[in-house]
Homo-oligomer: A and B are copies of this chain.
């Protein structure tokens, strides 16, 4: 069979399951999830064995250490997958919530009801724990999911899905509710991205090049969980103790994540005081500063000069761009130019400047006097997240179960016609 025919068969099965999933009650979905967690737990020896095969091939293929670490499924990771399943089972079912309700003068009652998106396609790298996480979030939100994981993880993914399938089948769930594409050839991914009738949303999970490739080829709407070039602007009225504490937290507490600070903007009126005091602390923490000319001058050459492209770089490391700006407007313009619409903060005691910042910075999360590190499904109270959207349509910021849903209008009448 050609790739198009194979994909048509896959999406038909998923579409059929999605219709049933859309009306499945919370209790039944939770039962499946708990049963999956148990089966994963019981299958851990098989899963680890399959993973060893993948690890061995990946080593033979010269994959680097970070790659192998992401690929690895040890007991701790399997425990994590099981506990994620159980957490998701415990979350509130978002499906069926009535978001708005109006009765029109002619007597029809219009309800805007939260419903699943339908069929979601996930394209991801060789991280087999993603397989279980995505299945649990999609099923709980009533969506069917088609999974295409990195080819290096194919045996691990198959073992994980075999366990999940055994549990879901035992609960009577339709086979198309989650489908792993086992053939990881490129032509099949391309056929997947062309399946605009069969798949409602594609979410690439992985690095920049994967996301760019998927976004440029997809005929299906894509939500990107893209890089985080996050800024903190220390305004002239900032409480400098607070600013120091927040900036240190946003830079060094976990530098390798998307909500860590990559660029610190400092108002010129406090730069002379603030920069020297935080520079010492940053240095002690091992942070390399890349500064604008004024920063270089104030810090007396103890920093590297920043180039324009540095401001557009997600370091994910102990590196920080520092730039002195003339005004909140200047800071906002910098962020809207170089940022990635992720998370940006202002430290200020001036309410008007805070409002200007939150109103004009075009990012999914804007903070006043708090660390950008809070942009996270758990910290936002969503219980779990499938990622952090840096797009502006459908969902922004942390995507939990509600963001995996859309809505429809359900209209009840008693014979009304349009005059």
Q: How far is the CA of A104 from the CA of B360 in the complex (A)?
A: 25
Question: Known contacts A392-B406, A418-B249: does B365 contact A413 (CB below 8 Å)?
Answer: no
B392 touches A200 (CB 8 A): yes
Taking the closest CB of chain B, its distance from the CB of A331, in whole angstroms, is: 13
In the complex, whether A285 has a CB less than 8 A from a CB of chain B is: no
What is the size category of the interface that chain A forms with chain B? 35 or more
B392 touches A117 (CB 8 A): yes
In the complex, whether A368 has a CB less than 8 A from a CB of chain B is: yes
Mark contacts of A332-376 with chain B using CB atoms, 8 A cut-off: 1 yes-contact digit, 0 otherwise: 100010000000000000000000101110111111111101110
Taking the closest CB of chain B, its distance from the CB of A277, in whole angstroms, is: 16
B366 touches A415 (CB 8 A): no
Q: How far is the CA of A418 from the CA of B230 in the complex (A)?
A: 15
In the complex, whether A283 has a CB less than 8 A from a CB of chain B is: no
B393 touches A408 (CB 8 A): no
B23 touches A356 (CB 8 A): yes
Binds B, one of A155-163, A238-246, A317-325: A238-246
In the complex, whether A60 has a CB less than 8 A from a CB of chain B is: no
In the complex, whether A102 has a CB less than 8 A from a CB of chain B is: yes
A406 touches B417 (CB 8 A): no
The interface residues of chain B lying within 8 Å CB-to-CB of A379 are: 104, 418
Q: How far is the CA of A414 from the CA of B242 in the complex (A)?
A: 8
Taking the closest CB of chain B, its distance from the CB of A287, in whole angstroms, is: 16
Q: How far is the CA of A254 from the CA of B364 in the complex (A)?
A: 43
A360, A391, A393 interface centre (most CB from chain B within 10 Å): A393
The interface residues of chain B lying within 8 Å CB-to-CB of A242 are: 414-415
Q: How many copies does the complex hold?
A: 2
A393 touches B200 (CB 8 A): yes
Which residue in B359, B365, B409, B413 is a CB contact (below 8 Å) of A369? B413
Taking the closest CB of chain B, its distance from the CB of A392, in whole angstroms, is: 5
A373, A375, A406, A413 interface centre (most CB from chain B within 10 Å): A413
In the complex, whether A219 has a CB less than 8 A from a CB of chain B is: yes
Mark contacts of A1-40 with chain B using CB atoms, 8 A cut-off: 1 yes-contact digit, 0 otherwise: 0000000000000010011001100000000000000000
In the complex, whether A110 has a CB less than 8 A from a CB of chain B is: yes
Instruction: State the A residues within 8 Å of B (CB).
Output: 15, 18-19, 22-23, 102, 104, 108, 110, 117-118, 200-201, 215-216, 219, 221, 223, 239, 242, 245-246, 249-250, 253-254, 332, 336, 356, 358-360, 362-371, 373-375, 379-381, 391-394, 396-397, 406-418
Closest 8 A/B residue pairs (Cβ): A370-B413, A249-B417, A373-B418, A23-B359, A242-B415, A365-B409, A394-B394, A393-B394
In the complex, 24 of the A-B residue pairs with CB atoms within 8 angstroms, ordered by the A residue number, are A19-B332, A23-B356, A104-B379, A110-B381, A200-B392, A221-B393, A223-B393, A246-B417, A365-B408, A365-B410, A368-B410, A368-B411, A368-B413, A370-B412, A370-B413, A371-B413, A373-B418, A374-B411, A374-B418, A392-B406, A393-B393, A393-B406, A394-B394, A397-B409
